Structure 1
Amino acid sequence: MPSDPTQALADTRLWLERAVIGLNLCPFAKAVHAKGQVHLALTGAPDWAGILGALEAEAAELARRDASERDTTLLVAPAGPADFIEFAGLVAQGERQLRTQGLEGVLQLASFHPRFHFAGTDVDDVTNYTNRSPWPTLHLLREASIDRAVDAFPDAADIYEANMRTLRVLGESGWKRRMEGGQ
C-alpha cells in the first residue's frame, strides 16, 4: 500500500488513461471517461469485510445515480489482497453481494489486479497486462451500458484477441515505457 493512499487513485487514473484508453484495451472506456462518467473511489480497508462494505456502498450509489452522471465505478483497494487467487475469492464474494443487494442484471462486477494471470499462460506472459492494474480494483459496470456498447460494437468478442495482439507487439518494455509516460 502506498504511504499516501490517494496515490493509488492517481496511479489508477494514469493506468486508465495510458493503458485502458491509450491502448484501446476497452473501446468503450474512452467515451465515458471523456464525459466524466467514470468514478474512481478508494477504500483503505485492509480486510474483505471492509472492502465488501465499500463495494456495497459504491454499488448502491451507482445504481441510484443516472448513467449520464455516473456510468461506471472503479473501486481501488490498495490494501486489498496482494495474492491474485485470494483476490479472485473476494471478487466472487462481491458478485454474491450484488445479487443479495438485488443488483443482479443491473450491475456487473469486473476486476483488475497487479498480479492478474490468465489460466494457461505463464505468470510473466505480457498478455496478462490486459487485466493488470496498479492496485487491486473492483469495477462496477451497468448492464444496460454493456448491452448498448456491445450493440454498437458487433465484434465485441474480438476485443480479447485484439488486446492480446496489442500487448504482444508492445512487449513488456513497451508497456513499461507507456506507463512511465513514453510511447
Structure 2
Amino acid sequence: MSTPAIDRDVVIADTVHWLEKAVIGLNLCPFAKSVHVKKQVRYVVSEAETPEELLEKLMEELQHLADADPDKLDTTLLIHPQVLTDFFDYNEFLDVADAALEDLGLDGFLQVASFHPQYQFDGTDVDDISNFTNRSPYPTLHLLREESIDRAVEAFPEASDIFDKNIETLEKLGRAGWDKLMGKP
C-alpha cells in the first residue's frame, strides 16, 4: 500500500501560516521576519518516506544553501511530512543531520535547527506549552547560515534571553490561545 500523495501547496501554506502567525507573529524568533519579508526563505517539501531518503535530500539542500548567494537565499525549511513523524525518531535523526554537515565540510558554516509537531524538550510533559516554541505543522529541518545567526545576534544583544521570553509569551497565550492563533477549533 503506497503513501497518499503530498499536496505540496497545502504543506507550504500550512508552514507559512505557522511562520507568520507563531514564529513572526509572536516574535518567537526575532530574526525570522527579515528573511521572510525579503523572500530569502526556501520551502522544500520532501517526498522521502525513509530516513535514508531524507538524508539524501538533506545533503542536497545543505549543498544548495551553501552554494547559493546569501542575498537571495538565507535559509531553507526542509519539510518532510512522510518520514520521522514520531518525535523520538526525528530527534535521533538530528545526530545524522549533524554528521551530514561534517561530511559535507559545512559544519561551522551551516547548522540545522529542529521543529516538529510533537516537539518535546527534555524534562517537560508532552502538553507543556513551552514545547510549542518548536512545534511546527510538519516535521521540519531548518537549515541556516552561521554568519546569519552571528549577524542577528549582533543586532539583537539579548539573544540569550529569547528562549525564556518565548516560554513567557506562550504561558501568557496558553493552549487555547495557541489553538486559536493556529486556526484550530
TM-score for both structures, normalised by structure 1:
0.95
SS at match of 1:109: strand
Structural mapping, 1:3-14, within 5 Å:
4-6=6-8, 7-14=10-17
Q: Which runs of 5+ in 2 are unaligned?
A: none
Q: Deviations over 1:102-139 (max 9, x none)?
A: 10111001010010001111110111100000100000
Q: Deviations over 1:125-162 (max 9, x none)?
A: 11110000010000001000000111111110100000
Q: Which runs of 5+ in 1 are unaligned?
A: none
Shift of 1:4: 3.6
**1:155 maps to 2:158:** yes
Instruction: Check whether the contact 1:2–1:8 (CA below 8 A) recurs between aligned residues.
Output: no
Shift of 1:82: 1.8
* Aligned with 2:183 (options 165, 177, 180): 180
* Aligned with 2:32 (options 22, 26, 29): 29
Q: Deviations over 1:45-97 (max 9, x none)?
A: 01011111111111111010111100000000001212111101111101101
* Aligned with 1:62 (options 50, 61, 65): 65
Query: Which residue does 1:94 correspond to in 2?
Result: 97
Structure 1 CA distance for aligned equivalents of residues 142 and 36 of structure 2: 14
SS at match of 1:110: strand
SS at match of 1:157: helix
* Aligned with 1:122 (options 89, 111, 125): 125
- Percent identity between matched residues is 50
* Aligned with 2:174 (options 166, 171, 174): 171
* Aligned with 1:78 (options 58, 78, 81): 81
**1:48 maps to 2:51:** yes
Letter in 2 for 1:43: S
Shift of 1:5: 3.0
Structure 2 CA distance for aligned equivalents of residues 171 and 143 of structure 1: 32
Instruction: Check whether the contact 2:6–2:47 (CA below 8 A) recurs between aligned residues.
Output: no
Structure 2 CA distance for aligned equivalents of residues 4 and 60 of structure 1: 24
TM-score for both structures, normalised by structure 2:
0.94
* Aligned with 1:142 (options 145, 158, 162): 145
SS at match of 2:69: coil
Equivalent residue pairs, number: 182
Letter in 1 for 2:57: A
Structure 2 CA distance for aligned equivalents of residues 175 and 83 of structure 1: 22
Spell out structure 1 runs of 4+ moving beyond 6 A: none
Structure 2 CA distance for aligned equivalents of residues 36 and 89 of structure 1: 31
Structure 1 CA distance for aligned equivalents of residues 131 and 124 of structure 2: 8
Give the RMSD, CA atoms, in angstroms.
Answer: 1.5
Shift of 1:3: 5.2
